[in-house]
């Protein structure tokens, strides 16, 4: 089974802090994704990566950056956390582009910015 592990289930940070969310997958997947999930808004794509050191903006990249130094690890960075970034953050991974494979998700990090 695919395993996507997010380092924290719950996280509380203060406005202005730099926040790191970590995600690791064990299936040697090329593609990795970061989403946020908010009530009534569904899943929104923040950033994705299709290879090591590669990154692409999703639909809502403002206020975020990412890092993919190793194939199995994809980090989401909140450069200066703000209260409107309080949300559930979900990491996902999938196989090669062009292949019909679903994304597999971690259990999420519920982040609160005070």
The residues binding other proteins (CB under 8 A) are 4, 31, 40, 42-43, 45, 48, 50, 56, 58, 90, 92, 97-100, 102-108
Residue 48 C-beta: closest distance to other proteins, Å:
6
Cβ proximity to other proteins: between 6 and 85 the closer is 6
DSSP-derived letter for residue 110 is E
Cβ proximity to other proteins: between 64 and 105 the closer is 105
Contact 113, 82 (CB under 8 A): yes
Cβ proximity to other proteins: between 74 and 105 the closer is 105
Cβ proximity to other proteins: between 4 and 81 the closer is 4
Residue 83 C-beta: closest distance to other proteins, Å:
23
User: What tokens appear for 49 in the block?
Assistant: 């990566």
Q: Which residues contact 76 (CB under 8 A, 6 or more apart)?
A: 20, 21, 23, 34, 46, 47, 64, 65, 66, 89, 91
Residue 80 C-beta: closest distance to other proteins, Å:
26
Count of alpha carbons within 13 angstroms of residue 102, beta-carbon side: 4
Cα separation values, 45 from 37, 52, 58, Å: 9, 19, 5
Residue 59 C-beta: closest distance to other proteins, Å:
9
């Amino acid at each position: 089974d695919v395993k996507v592990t997010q380092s924290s289930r719950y996280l509380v940070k203060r406005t202005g802090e730099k926040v790191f969310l970590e995600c690791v997958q064990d299936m040697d997947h090329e593609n990795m994704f970061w989403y946020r999930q908010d009530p009534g808004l569904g899943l929104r794509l923040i950033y994705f990566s299709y290879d090591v050191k590669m990154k692409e903006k999703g639909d809502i990249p403002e206020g975020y950056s990412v890092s993919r130094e190793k194939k199995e690890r994809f980090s989401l960075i909140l450069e200066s956390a703000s209260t409107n970034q309080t949300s559930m953050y979900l990491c996902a991974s999938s196989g090669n582009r062009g292949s019909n494979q679903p994304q597999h998700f971690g259990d999420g990090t519920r982040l609160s910015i005070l």
